[in-house]
Structure 1
Amino acid sequence: MSVLVLLLLGLGVGVTTALFGFGGGFVTVPVITVVDAGLGGDAVRVATATSALVMLVNALVATLAAPPRALRGRWALLVLLGVGGALGAVAGRFAPGPVLRWGFVAYVGVTVVDLLARPGFLRPARTVAGRRQALPTGLGLPIGAVASFLGVGGSVMTVPLLRRAGASMPVAAALANPLTLAIVAPALCVSLLVRGSTPAGAGLVGAVDIVAALSLLAGSTVVVVLLRRRPPRVPDALHAGAYVALLVAAGAVVAATG
């Protein structure tokens, strides 16, 4: 896959970061799995590690472009997300490739079924005043660990939780970016320093494909800034439906490259 194609795909990464709070994980993992398919079973391990770098930069840019206020005073939650992110990244460096690949696919599948079957996502549930956007502190550790292990950031867990607490899609996506940042910062450090069972290869630093990551970021960062500063007005139901559709597409690509 050429650098030009990665630059164009980076535009899509920017859109998902700004509109869905993904930080790029659910686009980066399928794309890098295809880019590094020559690594065989190690391709998905490199993809999950590389997604940490892409998500870190995009989540940071999105957070700085339009910082949310709802997370002030939630330091315990952010610390637990970071600890979980580091633990998940370490586990991911040594886990067999098929576990990461099919774990990603299974996680996406379960999430999609949950979003479709249970009320509160496609149609936000009404909540008691003052309890909007609640995210229990104790969930920080498992959210961080699973998110970094599979390379998906934290948005795929936090956005549904925030929606069910009554948040609109724009608010949930905005809050997901700093939460993702807390997870992927320590996860990226692990991915750069710990190669694990990933073989040495051109362009790899630790388990991170630097060239592919930088190509995606070159296309995404400007889009993130523009859309966070001037977010498009998308009907909430359509916004939520697009979130589900993107999860389905990401899972299908990773499954197909197996």
Structure 2
Amino acid sequence: MIAIILFFLIGVLIGITSSLFGFGGGLIVVPILYAFLPETIPADYVMHTAIGTSLAVMIINSLNSTLNHAKKGNVQWSIFKFFFLYIALGSLLGGFLAYFFTSDILRFAFIAFLIYVILSSVIKKTFIGQAADDFQFPSHPKAVTTGVGIGTVSTLLGIGGSVMTIPYLRNRGLSMLHSVALATPLGLPIAIVGTFMYLGLGLQVADMPVSTIGFIYLPAVVGFVLGGFIGVPLGRRIAQKLPDPLFSKVYLVLLVIVVIMMIIG
């Protein structure tokens, strides 16, 4: 119960970041669980369990956040329909590949990818400037490559789609508010497919503790999800009020904090 209460308090923060930055919890859940998962989790599967738990939490938070943003008309469904299937296909590929990577490799890949996102976003001035909010649709071949790539990497690292979709949508002319609102429903196929993949892979590991189902740590899921029902509406209200250039800069600062947390370990 003590663990669930602590995870509940953290879950409020996760809920805020879910609807404010479209994270769905992944960027917060993975570093926290990597540091605080109990010693009963086999060392070789700590990162796998952190990622699997993150994806499970993402399902509820993404649904909750999507509903909150949709009520305010922030979700542009035409863009969602354009990318959804391709991201779902990439999610299947990422979940399959996860079995072939060690915990340390996944951790270092997580850190390296976030550093790349931060540096590329700073270099491209379109990310931190004022967006025209006029999305430029890519050709279908490019959409396939982008969607499958987002789904594969996001599921493999348990970060949800926002770290890739928000910079992509932003650089193609969409505002931060609409980019974030789209990142949550686009993260659903990643969360659903990834959760079942990590659950199935974890069930094949004999020495996982009773507090888990596959690579999903149940006390964290319960606490994070309950806290999210308080945090998600708060995050959406903040997102509605933030000026676009400030919104993008805060997003990048949070990514830097997450990278530092993962490096410290």
Q: Which structure has more helix as a fraction of its residues?
A: 2
| Superposed CA offset, 1:166-224 (max 9, x none) | 22211110011111012211111212222155841131111111211211111112221
TM-score by length of 2: 0.87
1:45 counterpart residue number: 48
The 8 Å contact of residues 45 and 198 in structure 1, kept in 2 or not, is answered as: no
* Among candidates 147, 171, 186, match of residue 164 of structure 1: 171
Distance 1:116 1:69, change over 3 A: closer
Amino acid at match of 2:114: V
1:82 counterpart residue number: 88
| Superposed CA offset, 1:91-150 (max 9, x none) | 2233111110000000011111111122211114658xxx51646521111110000100
TM-score by length of 1: 0.89
* Among candidates 82, 94, 104, match of residue 110 of structure 2: 104
CA RMSD, Structure 1 to Structure 2 (Å): 2.2
| Map 1:1-258 → 2, pairs under 5 A | 2-36=3-37, 38=39, 39=41, 40-67=43-70, 68-72=74-78, 75=81, 77-124=83-130, 131-132=134-135, 134=137, 137-138=143-144, 139-195=146-202, 199-228=207-236, 231-257=239-265
- Gap regions ≥5 residues in structure 2: none
- Gap regions ≥5 residues in structure 1: none
Once residues 73 and 20 of structure 1 are traced to their aligned partners in structure 2, the CA distance between those partners, rounded to angstroms, is 18
The 8 Å contact of residues 77 and 137 in structure 1, kept in 2 or not, is answered as: yes
Once residues 20 and 180 of structure 2 are traced to their aligned partners in structure 1, the CA distance between those partners, rounded to angstroms, is 6
Equivalenced residues, count: 254
The 8 Å contact of residues 22 and 152 in structure 1, kept in 2 or not, is answered as: yes
Of residues 174-183 and 188-197 in structure 1, the stretch that sits farther from structure 2 once superposed is 188-197
Distance 1:167 1:73, change over 3 A: closer
Aligned to 1:121, the other structure's residue is in SS state helix
Amino acid at match of 2:163: V
Once residues 134 and 28 of structure 1 are traced to their aligned partners in structure 2, the CA distance between those partners, rounded to angstroms, is 32
Distance 1:94 1:65, change over 3 A: same
Once residues 160 and 211 of structure 1 are traced to their aligned partners in structure 2, the CA distance between those partners, rounded to angstroms, is 32
- Cα drift, residue 225 of structure 1: 3.1
- Cα drift, residue 228 of structure 1: 3.1
Once residues 206 and 122 of structure 2 are traced to their aligned partners in structure 1, the CA distance between those partners, rounded to angstroms, is 36
The 8 Å contact of residues 65 and 229 in structure 1, kept in 2 or not, is answered as: no
